[in-house]
A and B are shown apart, each in its own frame.
Chain A
Amino acid sequence: MVKCPVCGLEVRIPEDAMPGELIEHDCGTLLEVVEDNGVLQLRVFEGDMEDWGE
């Protein structure tokens, strides 16, 4: 478990999570999985939504 950088509540990173994966937290924040020295962490996703989609 890690903490949401916005609301501070715990977030579970899925076991098969990959760097870059996006997780929508219960508080509504879109979080991005990042790798820091081999450890998976979360940061607020800052992607350009207009550019983003299928």
Chain B
Amino acid sequence: MPSIALLYDHPRWEEKAILQALKDIGADAKLLHVETTPLRIGEPCCPIDLALERSVSFSNAVATAFAVESWGVRVLNPGTVIYLAGDKVATLSLLASHRVPVPETTVLSGSNRINGSLPPGPPWVVKPVIGSWGRMVARARDLEELEQLLSYKEAARGLYSRIHLVQEYIEKPGRDIRVFTLGDRVVAAIYRVSSHWITNTSRGARAEPAPVTGEIEDLALRAAEALGGGFLGVDLLEDPERGLLVNEVNAVPEFKNTVRVTGVRVHMEVARYAVEEARR
């Protein structure tokens, strides 16, 4: 059986479940805690056939995936995929260039911010370029509020604080759809239901099983392929006029609630896929 390393920083239910699944199918599973294990570029720390990147920190995930890939070891997901999925400007741009429908979005940089063309609105949604779980996502109800939000954001002085991602506000039917892709197939999908316009489960949204229709499957797989494939969580919005739009893609997705409500053992699917990939 192949030797598979699970790269992690802060283990959650998902990492423990994947580790157990790897052991259950007989894989030689190794844990690699990236915050206490220095990774030398080009010099493997141990003999492994494949690595699963499961770091919660975006910067940890990108850096350690690239470092392990420098050993000639395949990483699920690769550093490029994690980076592209983590940077919302990169994600939306790449999806649009592959003709995958996305919400209308404008990237504004610094002082010329409002001179450029804004997406339809108000209202508008302002998002950080990098960020998860719906944090720092805000809604501006008019131009004055938008100006104020962007000013506050610039005052934070982070790496991307002068880059603004302004999106049209989609009137969702009280939910969005999270689709899990693994290689060239969809393994599960859930609705994330909430009375709040932000529908992350980490913000209190309720998970419910969603049917994987042909349209959902096709769009999620096209989005996954555009970013480089692997194990991804693709978030879809249901626009009343245009149908499904891809909102975001997550490269280290959580799936505890998906297992609970759908009964699909996503962790086992990931473990089996990792073993198959390691043998290729």
Contact = CB atoms under 8 A, between A and B. Distances in A.
Nearest to B15: A18
A28 interface: no
A51 B31 CA distance: 22
A53 B131 contact: yes
A21 interface: yes
B133 to A, nearest CB: 5
B158 interface: yes
B128 A32 contact: no
A20 interface: yes
B10 A53 contact: no
Consensus secondary structure, chain A interface: loop
B57 A52 contact: yes
A46 B251 CA distance: 23
Contacts of B10: 20-22, 32, 47
Interface string A7-47: 00000000010111110000000001000000000000001
B42 interface: no
A54 to B, nearest CB: 5
A50 B136 contact: yes
Interface in B1-28: 8-12, 16
Contact of A20 (B33, B132, B254): B33
Interface in B126-161: 128, 130-133, 135-136, 158
Contacts of A53: 56, 58, 131-133, 135, 202
A10 B253 CA distance: 32
Interface of A: 16, 18-22, 32, 47-54
7 contacts: A16-B16, A20-B11, A32-B10, A49-B135, A50-B128, A50-B130, A54-B56
* Nearest 6 pairs of A and B residues by beta carbon: A53-B132, A53-B133, A18-B11, A54-B254, A20-B10, A54-B250
